[in-house]
Structure 1
């Protein structure tokens, strides 16, 4: 009778070791540190307006977002800022009330986008053609992660690090489609990076789509973003950046 008991005990210890217990994580809340290189973005624009702001802005803007995942769904939203001075959302792209909700089982999304009002945009999650680089890896928040890359909006490169130890095919905003949760993300054209700083194994609130706001189409939002850009700059120069920040 000793052998079955010993085997059961060894099985329990093996299952609870780090790297094995993690494979069963299918719900939790990730905190991402989102770092934006403001000065690099202003330097790239290289116009009178950007140069006037250069000396008034810090090098980086740092904000924190939460991503709750449960039942093959995810919801990503602003949590708090780490900036010491107030920086316009026009510069950072940080709209504190925006929400990104994704249902990976049905391949649908429902986002809350605040442009003059509360607007809900619904649709199919975009198909992302990932190129995996399994030989390139790193550790983020204690999890082994592998690298992948893709191109969005025809010309915007994104680089992601995902962990197969958390079998959720999601991550920040609408980025998805990898064989594990995205814990690191870089978008050079936006001079922005996302890095997971912690994972809590509890989801206190239901992971549900936003309900506050009127339903509009993505075309409506894109046109509104273009008009919003004109108000600030008198032209379409920043329209693409606004669209990428919103529909990433």
Structure 2
């Protein structure tokens, strides 16, 4: 029997609303393994004992190799480090606590609002770093590769680097400072800088290569990366690689994707200045103890 038009219209409306709810309720979870390589050459590595090298490598490994969880829907996502229990007898809690002040905390992105929020604890104080998502000028390529069960396409861009990006810091190239044979040598009594950051530099830009899959039609990815027609499953940027190792679509137990609100709201530029001021304060404090000469 044919339904009366009013009742049939109600059924169509309910069906349409249920489809809308289903689309809005879409959610996924992606696990990323990240690894950052660090070149120890030029840092006195040749003069270190093998035992000392191993100690440094063990300490750095927990910072340079991490697992992150990305929970996402069509417009929002959270990206945070997977929680791990400290190993019994571990003595690296102080080291880890100090380094966490210089590396990123839990992150929230909204690609519709072009908003990024990052929770950050710095020497016991809670901040909420708020900024607009950067617009990345992606160049889409035709090259493909398989990551798990997903066909991925290659995209590249050039990204400006934050001047306090610890993972991109490197020893400054002093090659251009060396005098050529026959030229006057520099005064050997000249005082070297007391600032260890004078020996470090951060590149202004890095080339980023990403692999995204249109099979998951969301414009997001790990960290601050976004803006491609599909979920980004792999990123190579400077010395860091982020690789997706697992994807669960519409998991039964879903993580809440909440916009963070706790902490003093600052911009990235303001937060970087806070870090620089604290570093200068620590240098002054420890320098004074060491009886630094003027």
Structure-2-length-normalised TM-score: 0.59
Equivalent residues, number: 203
Quote the offset at 1:123 in angstroms: 2.4
What is the SS of the residue equivalent to 2:215? coil
Deviation at 1:212, TM superposition (A): 2.1
Who is 1:143 aligned against?
A: 150
Deviation, structure 1 residue 90:
8.9
Q: Which moved more, 1:160-169 or 1:97-106?
A: 97-106
Tell me the distance in 2 between the aligned counterparts of 1:50 and 1:170: 42
Partner in structure 2 of residue 125 of structure 1: 133
Equivalent residue runs for 1:206-245 within 5 Å: 206-230=256-280
Corresponding residue for residue 11 of structure 2: none
Residues 134 and 145 of structure 1: CA distance in aligned 2, closer, same or farther (over 3 Å): same
- 1:74 corresponds, among 56, 74, 77, to 77
Q: Deviations over 1:115-140 (max 9, x none)?
A: 222111222111101112222x2222
1:170 positional shift = 0.8
**Alpha-carbon RMSD:** 3.3
**Whole-Å separation in 2 of the counterparts to 1:178 and 1:122:** 22
More strand by share: 1
Structure 2 CA distance for partners of 1:104 and 1:225, relative to 1, 3 Å: same
Using the TM superposition, give the Cα deviation of residue 223 of structure 1 relative to its aligned residue in structure 2, in angstroms: 0.9
1:32-91 deviations in Å (ceiling 9; x for gaps): 0111224x2x33xx3359975644314854211000001411110010469977494599
Residues 188-247 of structure 1: CA deviation (Å, up to 9, x unaligned): 2xx22111111112262321221221211222211123345557888xxxxxxxxxxxxx
1:178 offset after TM fit, Å? 0.8
Question: Matches of 1:146 and 1:206 in 2, distance apart?
Answer: 29
**Runs of at least 5 residues in structure 1 that lack an aligned partner in the other structure:** 1-24, 235-248
Shift of 1:141: 2.9
Change (3 A) 1:215 1:80: same
1:100: how far off?
A: 1.2
Matches within 5 A, 1:1-248: 26-38=26-38, 40=39, 42-43=40-41, 46-48=42-44, 54-56=53-55, 57-58=57-58, 60=61, 61-80=64-83, 86=92, 88-89=95-96, 98-116=105-123, 117-135=125-143, 137-153=144-160, 154-188=204-238, 191-201=239-249, 202=251, 204-230=254-280
| CA gap 1:134/1:79 in 2 versus in 1, 3 angstroms | same
- How far apart, CA to CA, are the structure 1 residues paired with 2:276 and 2:102? 16
Provide the C-alpha distance between the structure 1 equivalents of 2:237 and 2:227, rounded to a whole number of angstroms: 17
**C-alpha distance in structure 1 between counterparts of 2:80 and 2:47, whole Å:** 31
Do the aligned partners of 2:234 and 2:244 also contact (CA within 8 Å) in 1? yes
- Deviation digits for residues 166-202 of structure 1 (CA, Å, limit 9, x no counterpart): 11111111111111111101112xx221111111122
Distance, in Å, in 2 between the alignment partners of 1:206 and 1:54 is 42
Report the secondary structure of 1:219's partner residue: helix
TM-score where L is the length of structure 1: 0.69
On the 8 A contact 1:97/1:114 being kept in 2, the answer is no
**Range that drifts further, 95-104 or 193-202:** 95-104
